[in-house]
């Protein structure tokens, strides 16, 4: 059997050593030396190099312990932030993943004796949210990164600005309505008392435009001549012409758009063109465009399963089924074939599902038909590629 045989004890021991899976009691943190068995660790402790390291550590032991503790804490928190984010997770899961790396700082070289002590210390220092359950200790990372805080402040500022814009628009609409009401002449009807002097007199009503009037005409009406009848007829025709002209003018006013209608149209146009700097939505198909993950995932498609903080998504790969946590800058939308279902990701139609009707390759835009919401059935042209994506 050759020296380099795959099944020789030395080859097996070398593979175990490369993985860093040997017992913790046979590891020397000062020398960063991993021994394979108890005898090897005993020989290492008696070696001259180990004795020199002990002499250096004995001069200032607290300094070495503080250094190892700080390194352990920084690496542990970095793994927690990068791998799990702000999710609540069991501390043992994070620790097992941390010690799987070969060049890690061992806890027996730090100021904490157990993982529970380290977890409690994280809670006391305010680095993580810590709670104890029957299943063990759970930790949740508190993100105090300046970039994250800046992004949150910008989002709050943008929300406040949107609210201010809505209040200004509401006040503007109220002002327009008030001006419209002031411009109209309010017709106030006048009322007169219904009375007659004699019981034999007849009461007549004038039902023309204006207030009702009463008058007692008995014998006088019978004495009216033909000239009076002509004047009455001419006045009636003039009144009919005036009423027809007023009705025509009222129809023209109705045809013209009021200030309130114009304002509503302007607001609808603003909402339609409103855009945000985030576009991720669950259950859409996306493509990975970053090369940092290797050729295995480059230009591969996946489905967004969860959106975290509007800018980060958990993507499940379609081919392999792997789950990756990616930022939206590392992803791009997927345009399906005409006739397939899509989801609008940005603009005024954001959140509406639809069907892709056609694609314009020259302008990098598409024509869709909205299928959900109050705009169902509307045909929308000129929507950019990055504003829509295929539905899973």
- pLDDT tens per residue across span 223-250: 444 444 445 555 555 555 565 565 555 5
Note down the domain range covering 383. 336-391
Please indicate, yes or no, if residue 135 is contained in any of the structural domains. Answer: no
**Helix, strand, or coil (residue 302):** strand
CATH, residue 347: 2.30.30.30
Query: Is residue 25 one of the residues assigned to a domain?
Result: no
Task: Return the beta strands (E) in the chain as ranges.
Answer: 27-28, 33-34, 88-90, 128-133, 136-141, 203-205, 214-216, 285-288, 301-308, 312-317, 323-327, 331-333, 341-344, 353-360, 365-370, 379-384, 388-390
Cα 146-152-153 angle, rounded to 5 deg: 85
Per-residue pLDDT, averaged over 19-33, amounts to 65
Find all residues with CB under 8 Å of 118, minimum gap 6, and list them.
76, 107, 110, 112
Please indicate, yes or no, whether the overall pTM of this predicted structure exceeds 0.85.
no
CA distance 307 to 315: 9
- In whole angstroms, give the CA distance from residue 281 to residue 311: 10
- Provide the CATH number for the domain around residue 329: 2.30.30.140
Q: Do 329 and 342 fall within a single domain?
A: no
Q: How many Cβ atoms from other residues are within 10 Å of residue 4's Cβ? A: 8
Angle at 346 between CA 342 and CA 349, to 5 degrees: 70
CA distance 189 to 212: 9
The contacts of residue 218 (CB under 8 Å, 6+ apart) are 200, 201, 202
Is the residue at 386 inside a domain? yes
In a domain, 250, yes or no: no
Q: What is the pLDDT of residue 291?
A: 85
In a domain, 357, yes or no: yes
Residue 39 placed within a domain: no
Query: Over pLDDT 70: what percentage of the chain?
Result: 71
Q: Is residue 367 part of a domain?
A: yes
Question: Of 367, 272, 276, which is closest to residue 328 (Cα–Cα)?
Answer: 276
In a domain, 189, yes or no: no
What is the C-alpha separation between 308 and 313, in angstroms, rounded?
6
Domain count of the chain?
Answer: 2
Instruction: Indicate whether 375 and 387 sit together in one domain.
Output: yes
Phi-psi region of 106 (alpha: psi -120 to 50; beta: other; left: phi over 0): beta
Residue range 140-186, pLDDT digits in tens: 888 777 777 777 788 888 887 777 777 888 888 888 888 877 766 55
Quick one: 330 and 352 in the same domain?
no
The last residue of a domain, from among 291, 310, 334: 334
């Amino acid at each position: 059997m050759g020296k380099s045989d795959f099944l020789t004890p030395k080859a097996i021991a070398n593979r175990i050593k490369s993985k860093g899976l040997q017992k913790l009691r046979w590891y020397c943190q000062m020398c960063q030396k991993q021994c394979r068995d108890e005898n090897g660790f005993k020989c290492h402790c008696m070696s001259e190099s180990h004795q020199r390291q002990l002499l250096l550590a004995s001069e200032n032991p607290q300094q070495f312990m503080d250094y190892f503790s700080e390194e352990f804490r920084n690496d542990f928190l970095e793994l927690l932030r990068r791998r799990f984010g702000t999710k609540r997770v069991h501390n043992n899961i994070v620790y097992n993943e941390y010690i799987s790396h070969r060049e890690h700082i061992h806890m027996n070289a730090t100021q904490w004796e157990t993982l529970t002590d380290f977890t409690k210390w994280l809670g006391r220092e305010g680095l993580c949210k810590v709670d104890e359950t029957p299943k063990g200790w759970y930790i949740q990372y508190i993100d105090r990164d300046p970039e994250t805080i800046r992004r949150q402040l910008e989002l709050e500022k943008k929300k406040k600005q949107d609210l201010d814009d809505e209040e200004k628009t509401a006040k503007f609409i109220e002002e327009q309505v008030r001006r419209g009401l002031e411009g109209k002449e309010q017709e106030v009807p006048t009322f007169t008392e219904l009375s007659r002097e004699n019981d034999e007199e007849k009461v007549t009503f004038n039902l023309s435009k204006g207030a009702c009037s009463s008058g007692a005409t008995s014998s006088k009406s019978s004495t009216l001549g033909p000239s009076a009848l002509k004047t009455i007829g001419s006045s009636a025709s003039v009144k009919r012409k005036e009423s027809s002209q007023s009705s025509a003018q009222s129809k023209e006013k109705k045809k013209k758009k009021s200030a309130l209608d114009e304002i509503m149209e302007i607001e609808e146009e603003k909402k339609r063109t409103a855009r945000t700097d985030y576009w991720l939505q669950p259950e859409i198909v996306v493509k990975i465009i970053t090369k940092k993950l290797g050729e295995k995932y480059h230009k591969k498609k996946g489905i967004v399963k969860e959106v975290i903080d509007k800018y980060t998504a958990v993507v499940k790969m379609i081919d392999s089924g792997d789950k990756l946590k990616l930022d939206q800058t590392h992803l791009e939308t997927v345009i399906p074939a005409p006739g397939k279902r899509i989801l609008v990701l940005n603009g005024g139609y954001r959140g509406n599902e639809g069907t892709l009707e056609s694609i314009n390759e020259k302008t990098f835009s598409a024509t869709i038909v909205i299928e959900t919401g109050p705009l169902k059935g509307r045909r929308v042209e000129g929507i950019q590629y990055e504003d829509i994506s295929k539905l899973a």
